[in-house]
Amino acid sequence: METKVTTSIKEAADVIRGGGLVAFPTETVYGLGANTFDEAAVSKIFVAKMRPADNPLIIHIFDVAELSELVKEVNSTARSLIEKYFPGPLTIVLEASDKVPDNVTAGLRTVAVRMPGNPVARDFLKECGVPVAAPSANLSGRPSPTTWEAVLEDMNGRIECILRGDPTEIGLESTVIDCTGEVPILLRPGAISLDQLRYTYPAMRAFELSENITSRSPGMRHTHYSPRAKVMLVGSDITGDLVPGQAYIGIDIPEQVFRLARICNDVAGYGRELFEFFRECDRAGIEIIYCQTVPEEGFGRALMDRLRRAAE
């Protein structure tokens, strides 16, 4: 199949309505979308990404009214999160309605929904006229794509269309919150941070790996965000014997000389550039990427989560 790269919202939405797959930009990372209610189209996402069938998808909506078809009930926790953070880099998990196909939820009784704030994503979702189920638009196990070129690198010949937009502003995937219980649980840290959320929901807590992973967040079992190169986490003062000719990304300038180095302005810049830097290192045949650790506060928690997973 030929993968068409377009900037036409109309052309991309036509592909969705026709049962095809479209990669599109959001403020977090590029997503790979299909019509949520077209089970056959959704199943093509799993083939294109080589994604395990037990890892559910996030449904992307344009309007809050679409929720009524997707979830059983919008409880008070969900309602207040929606008011505060939709549209934005936040995903909420609620009990799924019977209308949502099983392959979207991977057979779970819950469903993840988000309303992206990126203007291109919003125009696209509006034009599609249906909720769009979409995981990140990378091959399973690779870093999420933050540019349309990275999508093409993984998906050329595997999907119908790429809606071409700018590099994503945030660069790490959305914050995921389970709203099904009495206390909201943070399943995946993101740009809307736990510290920020706790101002409004003091009881909110992060999901512990010792809890029942299968039912809470299937994606957490799968390896994620990994470049081919080995990722090593280092502090600000890099000491010891570094292998020469390798790569570094961080905020502080290291004393050592690296073949590839990326110095970021701050934690937000580091998060924005991380996944693309991983891909750049893979293209250059780098074997080890040294990544500076950051304090686990605010956005730093999301960044450290991704760094740790990549280093596993």
Helix, strand or coil, per DSSP, at residue 230: strand
**Binding piece for Mg ion, criterion CB under 5 A, among 32-40, 108-116, 132-140, 252-260:** 132-140
Size of the site for Mg ion (CB under 5 A): 1
> E strands within the chain?
4-6, 22-24, 31-35, 58-60, 90-95, 110-114, 132-134, 161-163, 175-178, 185-188, 205-206, 230-234, 247-250, 260-263, 288-292
Residue 93: name its binding partner from ligand TXA, Mg ion, none (Cβ under 5 to 8 Å by kind). ligand TXA
Q: Does 217 bind ligand TXA (CB under 6 A)?
A: yes
**Binding piece for Mg ion, criterion CB under 5 A, among 133-141, 191-199, 251-259, 301-309:** 133-141
Measured between its terminal Cα atoms, the distance across the chain in Å is: 35
Nearer to ligand TXA, 16 or 286 (CB): 16
Task: List alpha helices for 3-113, DSSP H.
Answer: 9-17, 39-49, 67-70, 76-85, 102-105
- Report in angstroms the alpha-carbon separations of 16 from 1, 80, 115: 16, 31, 17
Q: Tell me which residue has tokens 């299909």.
A: 34
Q: Does 29 bind ligand TXA (CB under 6 A)?
A: yes
Phi, psi (degrees; rounded to nearest 5) at 171: 90, -15
Nearer to Mg ion, 91 or 246 (CB): 91
Residue 74: name its binding partner from ligand TXA, Mg ion, none (Cβ under 5 to 8 Å by kind). none
Q: Does 26 bind Mg ion (CB under 5 A)?
A: no
Q: What minimum distance in Å lies between the beta carbon of 84 and ligand TXA?
A: 17
Residue choice 12, 67, 108, 161 for contact with ligand TXA (CB under 6 A): 108
Q: Does 111 bind ligand TXA (CB under 6 A)?
A: yes
Q: What minimum distance in Å lies between the beta carbon of 218 and ligand TXA?
A: 5
In this structure, what token pair is assigned to residue 44? 């093509």
In this structure, what token pair is assigned to residue 264? 């970021």
Residue 168: name its binding partner from ligand TXA, Mg ion, none (Cβ under 5 to 8 Å by kind). none
Return the exposure string of 205-242: e unless at least 16 CB atoms fall within 10 Å of the residue's CB, then b: eebeeeeeeeebbbbbeeebbbbebebbebeeebeeeb
Q: Does 218 bind ligand TXA (CB under 6 A)?
A: yes
Residue 152: name its binding partner from Mg ion, ligand TXA, none (Cβ under 5 to 8 Å by kind). none
Residue choice 57, 78, 133, 186 for contact with ligand TXA (CB under 6 A): 57
Nearer to Mg ion, 51 or 122 (CB): 51
Q: Does 136 bind Mg ion (CB under 5 A)?
A: yes
Helix, strand or coil, per DSSP, at residue 168: coil
Q: What angle do CA 194, 94, 20 make, to 5 degrees?
A: 105
Nearer to ligand TXA, 23 or 267 (CB): 23
Listed residue (106, 117, 75) closest to 221, CA to CA: 106
Q: What minimum distance in Å lies between the beta carbon of 268 and ligand TXA?
A: 16
- Packing angle, helices 299-311 and 267-283, rounded to 10: 20
Residues in touch with Mg ion (CB under 5 A):
136
Residues in touch with ligand TXA (CB under 6 A):
26, 28-29, 31, 55-58, 91, 93, 105, 108, 110-112, 114, 134-136, 173-174, 176, 187-188, 217-219
